[in-house]
Amino acid sequence: MEYLNKSKEELIGDLQRLEQEYRSLRSLYQDDTAKHQQVEKAPRLDEDNFEIITHSMVEIIFILDKAGNFIFFNDSIEPVLGYKPEDAIGKPFSKFVPISEFPRFLVQLRKIFMRGDVFMFKTQVFHKDGHLVDVEVSGKLTTYKSEVVAQGTIRDISERTRAEKALNDSLKSYKGLFDSVSEAIYIHKEDGIFIDVNVGATIMYGYERDELIGKNPEFVSAPGMNNMHEVVAQMQKTMLTGKPGQIEFWGKRKNGEIFPKDVIFNKGKYFGEDVIITTARDISEHKKSEQRLHLYKEIIDHSTEGIAILDKNGFIIEQNDAHRLLIGYSDKELEGKTPAIHLGHDVFEKMLKELAENGKFEGEVISHTKNGGVFIDLTALTIKNEQGEVLCHVGIKRDITERKKAEQALRESEAKYRILAEKMHDVVWILDLDLKTVYVSPSTEFTLGYTPEERLCMPIDECMVPESLDYAMSVLINEAVIDQQGVADKDRGILLELEYYHKDGTTRWLEQSINGIYNEAGELMEIMGVARDITERKKAKDALEQSAESYRGLFNSVTDAIYVLDQDGKFLDVNQGALKMYGFPREALVGKDPSFVSAPGRNDLESVSAMLKRAYEGEPQQFEFWGKRANNEYFLKDIRLQSGVYFGQKVIVALAQDITTRKQTEITLKNKVEELERMNRLMIREEMQLSTLKNEVNELLLKVGEKEKYLIS
């Protein structure tokens, strides 16, 4: 408020200016004869019954004279503003109004006394104890005790104002959480239409939010690079089954740039409506790494040199086809074996010693293969991480005649493999069929705090929380049963979200993509998984759901009935108060218009439609409406309409109160007043007849010489 920043002298000057304006206003009223004659025609109050009726009403009823002084208050002023009627009557309106609201009141006084307008506005007035109360003031011009006055009502809207503020704060909080997630989030309808997107989505694509709302995934699809039928089918499957779906999608930014992203569909609730909540992550770098990984594997698998990978203890964990062909041993035969099986113990120990000392071994050695001794050029390397910890050893064997070619392949293989080991962020792990970890990538330390060596020693029940362990075990058992039946796809995978222990005592949520590793005979040998940390995404999702629940709770905590209508007058949302008022379930009301709850023949629906349109354009409306409950009971309600915004959409907000009891009280009081008037007339007539009879008796007594018997006043 601007006046809070003014000095005492400035405030006194403003007050003097307002008083001068008020005196000018009074002068205008007195000088303008034509206007005065017009307002003298204002309807008269039923003064005999006015006080009886108003003192039973809940709202504050007041009468204000032309001088700006209150000349009447009903008893409702005390519970709302703390004054007894007799304490407030005779005081000017300025006693109750803060300085900042003077201009508003002066404008309203000018309208009502000069033009005879009906007025209604929201403002604040002082309580007797000094605090401000939010109120809604309405009234009209009338005549009271032969004077033209303003008669109106003051309604306490403090609770409604606080509820509206709390609701707005909740929506801002939800929006802040929604937009704080770094990944792109889209809220879809089942047909894929975007109904909301977060800031992450606008950053990812370069479009403004309004440019994305109302569009579908095809709008941001790279032309010809996605099967849109499959995309829509996956969204519909998620909506139908409730199970998450995941795809890769090629997007096109506003600037024309094409990029890949990882997309996960989840079914969720968006303010009561079933929707698809999609999270997307730009995987351009991941895709490049994946392509490099695939390239490196292809190079290793198709290399003409024999390549073997050893763990840090020297046991063979992998070999390529050329190595398999060179030494003649299968992968199964090499399980748990060291290169000593074909190099001999002495050469193997020498190699390990040089690897430990220098990280590299080079030499020409004899390999005792199944087909006999082969003279090979052996190069062995130790692969370490950035902390200098040994990850594995790589051995490359080649015929001497191919030395030059083999040395070049070694350099390429070494460089590419090192890049691969250093750049990988997701955690890769392998379990044997006893569920013992036989391999875990170095990224486990970044994700969970444990080194690969520590993880290899940990039993599975120490890796994850009990609930996730039980869930994972049930899924793996089910997959094992399917696998034993011999009808399952060997390339199938499963996607799980599991909660793991971190070394610092906290937990992390990891998204696991799990596949089986099979031997050449199709037998399951090991279980491999790739895990991604989704802890922050999980927290953001939970926070978003809590925000939506908080909004719904606030919406339903308002006791009055609240309806949210679109431009055409259709109900978009209703609160618990509306359901209680009509007795219908929410789904029976959403999508309907006011005619659905209208008492037949009791309302002018065309007039209601016109008021809805005026409210949508920003002009508040108020009227009475006869409703019909689900049990066919008719009742009267007071409705107030105003425009608003409902999650980015311009809407009409309707607030309704059941006034059936109040109306019945008014009718009862009116009937009682009419009955008293009728009885009074009868008594007057009977008294006149009795007086006439007494006169006649006195006249007869005088004629016969007697004294008058009755004394008539």
Render pLDDT for 589-625 as a digit per residue (tens, 0 to 9): 999 999 999 999 999 999 999 999 999 999 999 999 9
Tens-digit pLDDT profile for residues 665-690: 777 777 777 777 777 777 777 777 77
pLDDT of residue 33: 38
Pairing of strands 507-518, 184-188: unpaired
Q: What's the N-to-C CA distance of the chain in angstroms?
A: 70
Fold designation for 289-535: Beta-Lactamase (3.30.450)
CA distance 598 to 582: 11
Contacts 24+ apart (CB under 8 A), 705-713: none
460, 469 in Cβ contact below 8 A? yes
Cα Rg, the chain, nearest whole Å: 43
CA distance 417 to 678: 108
CA of 253: how far to CAs of 111, 186, 201, 303, 464, in Å? 56, 15, 10, 39, 39
CATH class name, domain 166-282:
alpha beta
Handedness of CA 219, 221, 222, 225 (dihedral sign): negative
Per CATH, the architecture of 2-156 is what? Answer: 2-Layer Sandwich (3.30)
CA-based nearest residue to 138, from 100, 165, 111: 111
CA distance 239 to 232: 11
Count of CA atoms in the C-beta half-sphere (13 A) of 174: 20
Phi-psi region of 90 (alpha: psi -120 to 50; beta: other; left: phi over 0): left
pLDDT of residue 1: 44
CB count within 10 Å of CB 630 equals: 12
Sheet order of strands, 70-73 included: 70-73, 60-64, 147-156, 132-144, 119-126
Query: Which residues, in sequence order, are CB contacts of 197 under 8 Å at separation 6+?
Result: 184, 185, 186, 187, 209, 212, 213
Can you read off the two tokens belonging to residue 536? Answer: 């922050």
CA distance 74 to 141: 18
CA-based nearest residue to 215, from 226, 204, 207, 224: 207
Give the angle 560-562-567 at the CA atoms, nearest 5°.
155
pLDDT of residue 596: 94
Give the angle 155-161-162 at the CA atoms, nearest 5°.
130
pTM recorded for the entire structure: 0.32
Give 3-state DSSP helix, strand, coil % of the chain, rounded to 5: 45, 30, 25
CATH 3.30.450.20-classified regions of the chain:
2-156, 166-282, 289-535, 558-658
Residue 209 dihedral angles phi and psi, to the nearest 5° = -60, -45
Q: At what angle do helices 158-180 and 535-557 cross, to 10 degrees?
A: 160
Q: For 558-658, CATH number?
A: 3.30.450.20
CA distance 653 to 205: 34
Query: Which residues, in sequence order, are CB contacts of 322 under 8 Å at separation 6+?
Result: 303, 304, 305, 306, 307
CA distance 384 to 421: 9
pLDDT of residue 39: 40
Report, as ranges of residue numbers, the positions in the chain whose pLDDT lies below 50. 1-4, 8, 22, 25-26, 28-42, 404, 417-418, 421-422
Q: Which residue has the tokens 């190069």?
A: 379
Strand partners, 310: 316, 393
**Residues written for the chain:** 713
527, 517 in Cβ contact below 8 A? yes
